[in-house]
Amino acid sequence: MVLSLVLGIAVFILMMRSPQDDELFGGLLDEMGEPDAEGLPTHTDENGMLWRKHENGELDWWDRASMMWKRW
């Protein structure tokens, strides 16, 4: 019984989201739920992959699994 109580409390703590989590992921998506391209031009290719281009010509692609821009 004590073990189940301890495990229940541990799961509860792990499942709670802190305000920092909302700020972290909230900054990655705009108000429409799309990735924030930080003002850079974007393009969606024929495979549905979202790209953004930096002023120096470097490209990033949006990784939906990690919710992060990845350098190409």
Q: Classify each residue of 40-54 as buried b or exposed e, where b means 16 or more C-beta atoms within 10 Å of its C-beta.
A: eeeeeeeeeebbbee
Please give the model's pTM, rounded to 2 decimal places. 0.57
What pLDDT score was predicted for residue 62? 92
Domain coordinates in residue numbering, the chain: 2-29+42-71
What pLDDT score was predicted for residue 25? 46
What pLDDT score was predicted for residue 50? 93
What pLDDT score was predicted for residue 28? 65
Element (H, E) at 58: none
Element (H, E) at 34: none
